[in-house]
Structure formats: structure tokens, C-alpha cells
Structure 1
Amino acid sequence: MQFAAPAPKRRKPSLTPMIDVVFLLLVFFMLASQFGLDQVIKLPLAAGTNSDGYSGPPRLVTLTSDAILLNGTPIALSNLPTALQNLSEKPDDPVVLRGQEEAHSQQVIDVLAALQQAGFTAVVLVE
């Protein structure tokens, strides 16, 4: 009577090389990626800048979910700095920026960037 030869033992694969590769990929992507760029928006405190108080025509910019209003009149973002310059005597005249509840924070950032680029130095944020 012949017996079959015992089956060879299966060798278990080593996980060490795979763990090394995963670790190296993790380190590579952590070093090569940027998680975010911090940007700072400088908002001067307008309370102490002008001792004379608010003067001149109203300069109220209201942000809604789908429009920008200058003194209640809809206006495009590209036309806002020009319209405000017509209402201002000097660049440090305060501009009041009010966002309504449905307005997004990105809209506030866009308007602040446009006003800063146009040279306005006093922007007052109100609720």
C-alpha cells in the first residue's frame, strides 16, 4: 500500500515589505501635499480712524444670496468700486458692508478683496 506524500507546507507571505511601501507612500504624500493656504484679510477698526464720524452720502453694501446691493440698488461686483469712488471723497471714507442671513462668506471675501484692490481702507462689517 502506497501513501501519498504529505503536501508541502504553504509558506505565509511576509507583510513587512507591503507595510514598508505603504509607510513610504504615506510619508511621501504628507511631505508633497499642501493642506491649505492661510490667507489673512486685514480689517482696520474704523471706530477710531475718523474722529469726524460718518459724513457724505450713504455707502451701504448689502450682500444677499444672489446679488450685491449698493444703497438698495443691485450692482455687479466689477462696478462696485467705481460706484463707491463716486460716493466717496477720499479713500478712507468708511464703507459699511452688511451680509444678510443667506449670504455666503465667500461673497464677503470677494467684496472685501475688490474694495481693497480699489484702495478703500475703511470697511465696517455689520450684521
Structure 2
Amino acid sequence: MPVRSPARPRRAVSVTSLIDVIFLLLLFFMLSSTFTKFAEIRLDTGTGGPAAPAPAATPPLFLQLGADTIRLNAQEVSLEDLPDRLAAEAPDDTETASRTLIIAPSGDDLTSQRLIDLLVVLRQQPGFDIRVLE
């Protein structure tokens, strides 16, 4: 005759250590996350968009952006001097008129941060319709 051992009562599973691990993971992800809002810069590319407007009376400005140089209409200019040069080229009535400014990135070593720095400076100048070539 088979001998049966008395049934052992099951112990309850302790979830204390599981709660500790979940709390530590939650704390880690909360502290390592950033909750800042990133700034947005609108880009208008020169290749897409609505139909081309009628030709302007003033020719567009051409800005060539390199890793170390900026050329405005083939004349080298620094990023700090660019607002003064653009103020001289701005239309007289910036409320109703705008002048097209075409940006052509050049060189393989050009970074996107350099383009963003330029766009931040250009957005502060009124009276310009900024276009970025691809």
C-alpha cells in the first residue's frame, strides 16, 4: 500500500522584492529622462511647395554656408556680422514686402548645428523669405 505524505501547505509568494525592483526601475527612468520641450524651426526647402510666385523686383540673396565660412552674394561674412549685412539688404517696408534669401549648404563636413545656428540668426531678421536648398 502506498504511503502518502501529508500535503504541505503552500507558502505565499513574497512580492516585496519585486515591488522594490519595480520602484528602482521607475526611479531610474524618471531621473534619466528629460522633460524639456525642444524648439522648432520651420524649414522651407527650395525644391517643394506651392507654385512659384511672380518674379520679384529685387533679385534674391544667395547665402552659401560652409563648415567654416559663410558667403553672402559671393562675399565672405562672419556669423556675427551677418545681421548688419542683411539689414542693409532688407526691403524698405518689411511689413508688406519680403526678399528671398536662398541658403545653399556646401561641403561634406557641414553640421546640422551650424545650419541651425544660422537659421536662428536669420529668423531674427524681418523682411526675408528664407529658403534652404537640399
TM-score grouping bracket, smaller chain normalisation: 0.5 to 0.7
Cα displacement (A) at 1:42? 1.9
What is the TM-score when the length of structure 2 is the normalising length? 0.65
Q: Hey, what does 2:107 align to over in structure 1?
A: 101
Conserved? CA contact 1:56–1:87, under 8 Å:
no
For the residue of structure 2 that corresponds to 1:69, the secondary structure is strand
Residue identity over aligned pairs, in percent, reads: 25
The 5-angstrom pairing of residues 108-123 of structure 1 reads: 108-123=115-130
Give how far 1:57 is off.
4.8
CA distance in 2, matches of 1:82, 1:24: 56
Q: Which runs of 4+ in 1 moved over 6 A?
A: none
| TM-score for both structures, normalised by structure 1 | 0.68
Give the CA deviation at 1:44: 5.2
Q: Which runs of 5+ in 2 are unaligned?
A: 1-15
Residue of structure 1 in register with 2:40 after alignment: 40
Change in 2 beyond 3 A, CA 1:36/1:21: same
Which one of the candidate residues 42, 55, 70 is aligned to 1:53?
A: 55
Would the aligned equivalents of 1:59 and 1:96 in 2 still touch at CA under 8 Å? yes
Q: Where does structure 1 lack aligned partners over 5 or more consecutive residues?
A: 1-15
| Aligned residues of 2:60 and 2:99 also touching (Cα < 8 A) | no
Question: Take 1:56 and 1:73, find their aligned partners in 2: how far apart are those partners?
Answer: 18
Cα distance in 1 for residues equivalent to 2:28 and 2:37: 17
